[in-house]
Structure 1
């Protein structure tokens, strides 16, 4: 009988052409685009550690160092074309090492490590770099928002609830609310970075190694704040991915809400935000139109960023707690697009917030016809006339109905219906005169008396802005601390590696 064992009759050669084109080539191209510097740093840090721990003979390490330097000098990754001769970028470097110093010496660099711990270290280095770049843009926007809130702290606007005019406040107060959300978004991104900033190197495939490696030393040389402790977690835990993209997802979800308000407030009917010509495009057929399309582009890019971040979370959903391809090269490349789109939103938002202004004429008109100061009339009647709030509310409601029906405004047209409603409800004349009534229902008074913690009046606004500036300074200090630590690590790694080169 013919032998039907497929293992004995398998004459195929790796890689299958379809596998090469659909899997290996994209992975190789992604590595040469995104991770060349990470590979370089990992090889050098691991080599230094192997020498320092005595795992690798110094003379052998010198040969490896020279070959790594020659590869850097002679090979331009951008010009590489995947041929299928090697499985991936890692094996390409190993192939080049073998060609220069022979398989025995070249193979010693891989002592006590695996592609598993290498890959997750690569991805963490890539994500840290992108978090830092995004954080620079986020902190720039935070500074712009704080400056705008300070500039506009006395600028009246109409605040909306349920899509309808509700109460007057200031644009600075509105922006302060957005600032507090954005601060929490940045805090989440910092916390994600702290989780990313733990080195997996030394975990090897799963369980570390029988060699006396120094995981903390490799972490230090690579600029991580520490080594991630559990070796299984190093290659299986993808929370460094999920926490990062969760933070990004929330940041741009929240930013989308701000953008929606800007879109609404720039509509012709509302018009309380004026967008300068530099951020406005004209219609190709309707000469009267000013289209503030910068807002639409922010909305689109924020949605793209949110969607790409959400995609990363979806990819991680229901994956096994182990090293697996779902979290690796191609997925990382997808995630990087979220950083790219998000950076564009932050840049555009910074420019937009710095440029826009409130149209006071439109705001005054909208306040007048919407009676949105009427809440303060009810409050003042409680304080001045000694009424219950419910009785005061009913009087104020009656006044508002009369003024709206007449097409007038509270300050000029509200006192007469107020007298009628008050006497009908209270059975007496009010002590509030016409001048005092006009002051009570003015938007300036409405804001000024709301001087409680978190309110729009000058005192709480000054306190809030001071808090935001302190928080922004703390963010800058933490970012600077990370930059300094990682710069020192890069210098030390370069010095230690060059010392090996000098011994050649």
Structure 2
């Protein structure tokens, strides 16, 4: 070193006041808000494992266990104010242990672990505690959609493409499309949760430990399915974060699209959805207006959720493959806000789907005005008259133009135009009667003949409903198994920890 080496003259002490206020205080407040239960569970599970592997003696483990109970009873995290005396919440608990037990015994709980593996375990526990309620809400929404689709299996609606009336289908068929996307989104979240469900504990800083720790035991006590295998991955891989928020982003991107349809369908000009009064607000100045504003709230909250989820992914972008603060406390707290808005959207959308009904009169009028059944006329001409589809399409298009020009009903006003157009195009008379023509261009017939796999006719739709019910049941079974496993693990951890304490009720 030279006389000019800054290390010789550095008399500063940690923490710098600005660093304390801009970084350490927010991190401490976030930990005491979001992760206290996780810290407590990790300390207890790690202590049980240290005792079971004889890394700590029974007496040492008992003393630490009793002190942890005392700290839990006497230190209320909600009342704590960050002073800078310790770096973070972890060191606060360790300071309490050392103060009460002495520096030697009080420091032994940290044997064979690091804040690195503790932090990522905390974050995974935090995500699991949010993913499970979210998945429960999604199953409730899925059930509501299936119920509504079955109820509306034969209820006609106008299906739109490019913002224009396209073909008739049923509301049950439309909702079935929503259901299938939602099932895939739930599967993505379940897959993400499976990654979250792998415990980092035992990785320590990076490379595990020379102590004879049992990583699988700690994972089991904390309710994880297993330990994450590679110890470097435990502290460096953030795919449990990106997988979760990537699935969340896609979920709300996808939900936002039918929500947008609902907005369009409730417009005065379309009006094919009726929203009951309980979900309608009236203008403060225009008494005639019925504003279905819950749709707007669902739309903007879905966008907020998607935006927050995407922001978490952006934060992970171009970060080093190692333990780093970008993925930790403040990012986790920021991400949790996405779960809060997500829950609001799902609850509101579930109630909305259960409440809305189709306005059949408006649907019938829109079908009449738009001639959207004319595709089946072209199809029928191909099947019954042996025409090419292109020639049949041109005849059907000419009929539609003639009907629209006079503002008529295709089934009534279309037949004369059809007869003349057919003869002009083919050079022969058509054998189709007026009655048969009216049937062919009816929306009921349009739906009924579309019996192919995935179509809106009763047969394929009923088969689809059975599949959706089976998938929902499978989701419910999986969720119940997870809840049972986690409950059993929590009970075992409590039992084993209190056994260390040495008294059945855990009191000193």
Task: State the TM-score bracket (shorter-chain normalisation).
Answer: over 0.9
1:405 and 2:405 are equivalent in the alignment: yes
Q: How many Å separate the matches in 1 of 2:472 and 2:383?
A: 40
Per the alignment, residue 108 of structure 2 pairs with 108
Per the alignment, residue 501 of structure 1 pairs with 501
Secondary structure of 1:414's partner?
helix
Q: How many Å separate the matches in 2 of 1:7 and 1:480?
A: 59
Q: How many Å separate the matches in 1 of 2:339 and 2:83?
A: 30
Q: CA deviation at 1:46?
A: 0.3
Q: CA deviation at 1:95?
A: 0.7
Per the alignment, residue 432 of structure 2 pairs with 432
Alignment of 1:43-442 (within 5 A): 43-442=43-442
Q: How many Å separate the matches in 1 of 2:462 and 2:53?
A: 57
Q: How many Å separate the matches in 1 of 2:184 and 2:35?
A: 31
Alignment gaps of 5+ in structure 1? none
Secondary structure of 1:3's partner?
coil
Q: CA deviation at 1:412?
A: 1.0
Q: CA deviation at 1:100?
A: 1.2
Q: CA deviation at 1:455?
A: 0.3
Deviations 1:287-315 (A, max 9, x none): 11111000000001000000000000000
Aligned Cα root-mean-square deviation (Å): 0.9
Q: How many Å separate the matches in 1 of 2:472 and 2:413?
A: 46
Q: How many Å separate the matches in 2 of 1:280 and 1:14?
A: 57
Per the alignment, residue 17 of structure 1 pairs with 17
Q: How many Å separate the matches in 1 of 2:108 and 2:125?
A: 24
Q: How many Å separate the matches in 2 of 1:283 and 1:86?
A: 55
Greater mean deviation of Cα atoms: 384-393 or 50-59: 384-393
Q: CA deviation at 1:4?
A: 2.3
Q: CA deviation at 1:409?
A: 1.3
TM-score, length-scaled by structure 1: 0.99
Q: How many Å separate the matches in 1 of 2:282 and 2:80?
A: 46
Q: How many Å separate the matches in 1 of 2:382 and 2:210?
A: 79
Secondary structure of 2:168's partner?
strand
Secondary structure of 2:29's partner?
helix
Q: How many Å separate the matches in 1 of 2:279 and 2:84?
A: 49
The structure 1 segments of at least 4 consecutive aligned residues displaced by more than 3 Å after TM superposition are: none
Q: How many Å separate the matches in 2 of 1:500 and 1:126?
A: 26
TM-score, length-scaled by structure 2: 0.98
Q: How many Å separate the matches in 1 of 2:412 and 2:106?
A: 89
Q: CA deviation at 1:3?
A: 3.2
Secondary structure of 2:169's partner?
strand
Alignment gaps of 5+ in structure 2? none
